[in-house]
């Protein structure tokens, strides 16, 4: 078996140990001091490359997170939507020049209705949903028989997990869920079918 770990994290630790020990331990097994130092130089150079890769990955992850949190796309949509309401817009020709018309998709934000199904996974209620071309869904819940809906949260990728415990420990309850799609932070379309599940007990 190869003595050098194949996985990256254990390999990084193994290399560091080699770097720390080789100039002392190598000569005990017959290495010259020059050979041990030369090997340490090779090991340290490779460790430096690994560390540089990790730093670059961390910077990339941070940049992507910053990009994901940007409100620019929503602001652009709002500005273009306002532009399209101007009386001179239809005959201006800017729709083609600025590429402000997307491909026909059949997605109608007025009539769209998200799909929804529920199950219990790992002691939590899992809500799988379809959002079409919407940005995400708002998740509403109520106990069966309750008059109103409680907003649990917003999710942009399926599934959503309801982690709330039962109202009374050990007492089963029937929860009902309904979803609404959101686009540019506004609820759109039609509510999903109401789905229910017995939870707790």
Average pLDDT of span 80-94:
94
Q: How confident is the model at residue 158 (pLDDT cuts 50, 70, 90)?
A: very high
Q: How confident is the model at residue 104 (pLDDT cuts 50, 70, 90)?
A: confident
Q: Is residue 109 part of a domain?
A: no
Spatial CB neighbours of 117, under 8 Å, sequence gap ≥ 6: 127, 128, 129, 195
The secondary structure of residue 141, as a DSSP letter, is E
Q: Is residue 98 part of a domain?
A: no
Residue ending a domain, choose from 68, 85, 105: 68
Nearest-angstrom CA–CA distance, 36 and 24: 8
Q: Is residue 73 part of a domain?
A: no
Tokens of 141: 């819940």
CB 15 within 8 A of CB 3: no
Give the domain range for residue 56: 8-68
Neighbours of 186 (CB within 10 A): 10
State the pLDDT at residue 147: 87
CB 162 within 8 A of CB 195: no
DSSP-derived 3-state class of residue 100: coil
Average pLDDT of span 92-104:
89
Q: Is the model's pLDDT at 2 over the cut of 90? A: no
Tell me the angle at which helices 33-68 and 8-25 cross, rounded to the nearest 10 degrees: 150
Query: Per-residue b/e over 65-98, b at no fewer than 16 CB within 10 Å?
Result: eeeeeeeeeeeeeeeeeeeeeeeeeeeeeeeeee
Average pLDDT of span 139-147:
94
Q: Is the model's pLDDT at 201 over the cut of 70? A: no
Q: Is residue 176 part of a domain?
A: yes
Assign residue 119 the CATH number of its domain: 2.60.40.10
Spatial CB neighbours of 144, under 8 Å, sequence gap ≥ 6: 173, 174, 175, 176, 196
pLDDT in tens, 186-195: 999 999 999 9
State the pLDDT at residue 11: 95
State the pLDDT at residue 46: 98
Q: Is residue 108 part of a domain?
A: no
Count structural domains, the chain: 2
Average pLDDT of span 114-120:
96
pTM of the model: 0.51
Residue ending a domain, choose from 50, 68, 86: 68
DSSP 185-199: TEEES-PPPPEEEEE
Residue ending a domain, choose from 32, 48, 68: 68
Q: Is residue 96 part of a domain?
A: no
State the pLDDT at residue 73: 87
DSSP-derived 3-state class of residue 160: strand
pLDDT in tens, 61-73: 999 889 988 889 8
- Specify whether 120 is located in the same domain as 52: no
Q: Is the model's pLDDT at 131 over the cut of 70? A: yes
pLDDT in tens, 29-47: 999 999 999 999 999 999 9
CB 131 within 8 A of CB 158: yes
Q: Is residue 110 part of a domain?
A: no
Neighbours of 183 (CB within 10 A): 19
Nearest-angstrom CA–CA distance, 114 and 125: 18
Spatial CB neighbours of 101, under 8 Å, sequence gap ≥ 6: 95
**Among 9-23, 100-114, 154-168, 186-200, whose mean pLDDT is lowest?**
100-114
- Specify whether 122 is located in the same domain as 193: yes
Q: Is residue 99 part of a domain?
A: no
């Amino acid at each position: 078996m190869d003595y050098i770990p194949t996985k990256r994290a254990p390999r990084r630790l193994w290399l560091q140990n080699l770097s720390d020990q080789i100039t002392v331990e190598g000569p005990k097994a017959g290495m010259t001091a020059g050979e041990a130092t030369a090997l340490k130089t090779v090991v340290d150079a490779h460790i430096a490359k690994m560390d540089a890769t990790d730093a670059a990955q961390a910077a990339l992850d941070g940049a992507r997170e910053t990009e994901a949190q940007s409100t620019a796309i929503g602001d652009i949509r709002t500005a273009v939507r306002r532009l399209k309401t101007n009386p001179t817009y239809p005959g201006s020709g800017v729709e083609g020049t600025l590429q402000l018309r997307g491909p026909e998709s059949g997605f109608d934000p007025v009539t769209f209705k998200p799909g929804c199904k529920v199950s219990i996974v790992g002691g939590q209620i899992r809500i799988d949903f379809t959002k079409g071309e919407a940005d995400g869904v708002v998740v509403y819940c109520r106990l069966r028989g309750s008059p109103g809906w409680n907003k649990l949260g917003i999710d942009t990728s399926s599934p959503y997990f309801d982690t709330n415990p039962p109202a009374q420990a050990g007492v089963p309850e029937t929860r009902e869920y309904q979803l609404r799609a959101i686009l540019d932070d506004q609820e759109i379309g039609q509510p999903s079918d109401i789905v229910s599940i017995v939870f707790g007990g």
